[in-house]
């Protein structure tokens, strides 16, 4: 059975642009976010309040956020710690995301912490956000495979998911950071989570497309009852602290599939494709999205 509605969590402006070699001017980022909203996306991850030395591409978060804050869409932002939360709250952010790892190697590389030290760092962030009625998403990276550790045992993923929910996260996003998941693995993980008392209704899926499996993995997740899907306009994306990560599932490819399945998203595919083609132009290389290439006439 498939859901009748799917919520797309657009990550192009954050996951996409965090990984670009060239730094995109703040005004171009703001226009990107505005055009995504005009194309009908309703949840658009805007930026990250992380250490500017760790992700220089998003060092302009203070300048960018006010330029998009008045858009009538949800604008979640990443915050790794209380310093990040302070910065986000000072600008009026109402949705934040912490980002944990299922593996020790990536926790160290991405957060300079062990898995449990990172969870301890998030604890006061989530508590303070919830006390302020701010919505909190908990990302979990390396849910399937890790570039240093190989295949990631499912119980290890379940443990950190539980910890994030116990902490007070409103929803989780299961990250296939390096894009190695296949549909059978997705079904097995969702089944194990369900058995552990974590239903698909609190889960989103976040697939990178390294091996071309992102759309197949998404369909498998939808069939298991997941209704929140992360995607990136034009297939932008990657992770600067996981070398083998490529772009996310392209929002256009997702919308094309959902349209064919009769699942409404409220997204104007033509406008979205035009936005990604415009962004690809600014970045100086073609979009990796097959749907963008098929539908753009530039």
Positions in the binding site for ligand HMG (CB under 6 A): 15, 18, 48-51, 54-55, 78, 80-81, 83-84, 87, 99, 110-112, 139, 141, 175, 177, 206, 239, 241
Q: How many CB atoms lie within 10 A of CB 243?
A: 11
- By CB under 5 A, the residues from 13 to 42 that bind Mg ion are 15
How many CA atoms lie within 13 Å of 211's alpha carbon, on the beta-carbon side? 12
Which residue do the tokens 């939808």 mark? 222
146 belongs to the binding site for Mg ion (CB under 5 A):
no
Taking CB within 5 to 8 Å according to partner kind, which of Mg ion, ligand HMG, none is near residue 83? ligand HMG
Q: Which two tokens stand for residue 228?
A: 């929140």
Which residue do the tokens 């060092």 mark? 59
Taking CB within 5 to 8 Å according to partner kind, which of Mg ion, ligand HMG, none is near residue 141? ligand HMG
Query: Can 239 be counted among the known catalytic residues?
Result: yes
Work out how close the CB of 283 gets to ligand HMG at its nearest, in angstroms, rounded to a whole number.
Answer: 18
Residue 285 to residue 11: CA distance in whole angstroms: 19
Taking CB within 5 to 8 Å according to partner kind, which of ligand HMG, Mg ion, none is near residue 251? none
Backbone angles phi, psi at 55, to 5 degrees: -135, 80
Residue closest to ligand HMG when measured from CB atoms: 175
The radius of gyration of the chain's CA atoms, rounded to the nearest angstrom, is 17
Measured from the CB atom, the residue of 111 and 267 that comes closer to ligand HMG is 111
- Is residue 95 within 8 A of residue 134, CB to CB? The reply is yes
Taking CB within 5 to 8 Å according to partner kind, which of Mg ion, ligand HMG, none is near residue 186? none
User: Which residues fall within 8 angstroms of residue 109, CB to CB, at 6 or more apart?
Assistant: 241, 242
Measured from the CB atom, the residue of 15 and 104 that comes closer to Mg ion is 15
Indicate which residues carry an active-site annotation.
239
Q: Which residues bind Mg ion (CB under 5 A)?
A: 15
């Amino acid at each position: 059975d498939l859901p009748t509605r799917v919520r797309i969590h657009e990550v192009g402006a954050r996951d996409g642009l965090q990984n670009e070699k060239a730094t995109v001017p703040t005004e171009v980022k703001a226009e990107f976010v505005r055009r995504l909203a005009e194309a009908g996306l309703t949840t658009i991850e805007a930026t990250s309040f992380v250490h500017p030395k760790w992700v220089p591409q998003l060092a302009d978060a203070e300048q960018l956020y006010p330029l998009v804050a008045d858009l009538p869409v949800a604008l979640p932002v990443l915050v790794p710690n209380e310093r990040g939360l302070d910065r986000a709250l000072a600008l009026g952010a109402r949705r934040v995301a912490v980002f944990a790892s299922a593996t020790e190697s990536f926790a160290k590389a991405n957060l300079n912490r062990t898995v449990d030290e990172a969870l301890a760092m998030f604890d006061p962030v989530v508590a303070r956000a919830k006390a302020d009625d701010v919505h909190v998403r908990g990302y979990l990276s390396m849910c399937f495979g890790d570039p240093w550790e190989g295949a990631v045992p499912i119980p290890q993923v379940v443990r950190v998911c539980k910890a994030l929910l116990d902490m007070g996260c409103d929803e989780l996003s299961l990250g296939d950071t390096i894009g190695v998941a296949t549909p059978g693995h997705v079904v097995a993980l969702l089944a194990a989570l369900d058995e552990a008392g974590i239903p698909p209704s609190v889960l989103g899926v976040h697939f990178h497309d390294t091996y071309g499996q992102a759309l197949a993995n998404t369909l498998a997740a939808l069939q298991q009852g997941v209704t929140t899907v992360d995607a990136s306009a034009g297939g932008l994306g990657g992770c600067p602290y996981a070398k083998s990560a490529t772009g996310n599932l392209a929002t256009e490819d997702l919308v094309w599939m959902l349209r064919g399945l009769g699942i409404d998203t409220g997204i104007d595919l033509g406008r979205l494709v035009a936005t990604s083609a415009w962004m690809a132009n600014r970045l100086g290389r073609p979009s990796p999205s097959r749907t963008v290439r098929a539908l753009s006439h530039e």
